[in-house]
Amino acid sequence: MKRAALLLVLAAVLAGWWILRPTTWSESELPAHSPDVKAGEKVFWAGGCASCHATPVNGRRAKGADRLLLGGGAELDTPFGVFRMPNISPHESDGIGGWSDLDFVNAMQLGVSPSGQHYYPSFPYASYARMKSEEVLDLFAFLKQLEPVASDRPEHELKFPWNLRNGIGVWKRLYLDPAPVIDLATDDARLKHGQALVEGAGHCGECHTPRDSLGGMDKKRWLTGAPNLEGRGSVPNITPMAEGFGDWSESDIVYYLETGFTPDFDAVGGSMVAVQENMAMLDAADREAIARYLKALPTGPQSE
């Protein structure tokens, strides 16, 4: 009887380890790819890397050339606790200068650090998982040629149970899925490109989609608006059924992403200012693709 109980306990421990363990790719699973720095710069702006990782200047969001000084240090104050943005400059010890291609892909698409720890999903790898690994390698090539920045970032300050990093293994089992969010039965290359930008590198759903009690995106209400995770106001619905936004044409959306002005001559505000500035750095064809995808979304229930 004691032996049977011991075996059950051992089985439970092994099952828990299996569920919680960080899973990574091996070197052989990386694509054969010659990274393109120019393409990586486009991924950098689409992904809004500077918005989180550029070191604040005098307590304010970095602007201009300072957006390429990626020493981290910005804070994200959420219901789960305070997340502090890491250094992703090519600094050898403080940043990612000592990382390999495999380290970077595992971090971006599987949320696992080079030391084998889970990253918290405040790092939007649940969206980056939908990117092509070639794009991720292009991004890494771009980051590596930026200026190294020395920094000393304090640790996150998270509430229980969110401070138990191993539990993220369960979260990943529930929410980390590289499959497209919306099944678009189409041969429209521009529409597919827009989907890749919005659902992947652009990670628009991370802010515009409601979350459940575990912090996972509710894909049944994709892009229908959500409370601001930083506690100030809400993030709008950007589906075709949204009041106001639903009346925008594709050209209206393109113009907004390029200039920051709405069809009613209002100006972009709040955290969307940085997003719009990033989108303005993309090619016109990229903004057009994003607009086409947003107008092609199926209608669904309004978020509360």
SS3 sequence of 198-260: HHHHCCCHHHHCCECCCCCECHHHCCCCEECCCCCCEECCCCCCCCCHHHCCHHHHHHHHHHC
**In a shared domain, residues 150 and 120:** yes
User: How crowded is residue 139: how many other Cβ atoms within 10 Å of its Cβ?
Assistant: 27
Note the pLDDT tens digit of each residue in 287-296: 999 999 999 9
Report if residue 2 sits inside a domain. no
The total number of structural domains that make up the chain: 2
**In a shared domain, residues 50 and 153:** yes
pLDDT score, position 3: 59
Label residue 179 left, alpha or beta by phi (over 0 means left) and psi (-120 to 50 means alpha). beta
Note the pLDDT tens digit of each residue in 70-99: 999 888 887 778 888 999 999 999 999 999
pLDDT reading at 269 higher than 50: yes
Note the pLDDT tens digit of each residue in 224-263: 999 887 667 789 999 999 999 999 999 999 999 999 999 9
Nearest residue to 76 via CA among 157, 149, 152: 157
- In sequence order, the 6+-apart residues with CB closer than 8 A to the CB of 240 are 246, 294, 295, 297, 299
- E strands in 7-133: 75-78, 81-84
Q: Give the domain range for residue 32.
A: 28-175
**In a shared domain, residues 115 and 207:** no
State pTM to two decimals.
0.88
Report if residue 235 sits inside a domain. yes
Report if residue 14 sits inside a domain. no
Q: Which residue has the higher pLDDT, 163 or 106?
A: 106
DSSP label at residue 211: B
Domain closes at, from 143, 175, 207: 175
Report if residue 21 sits inside a domain. no
Label residue 254 left, alpha or beta by phi (over 0 means left) and psi (-120 to 50 means alpha). alpha
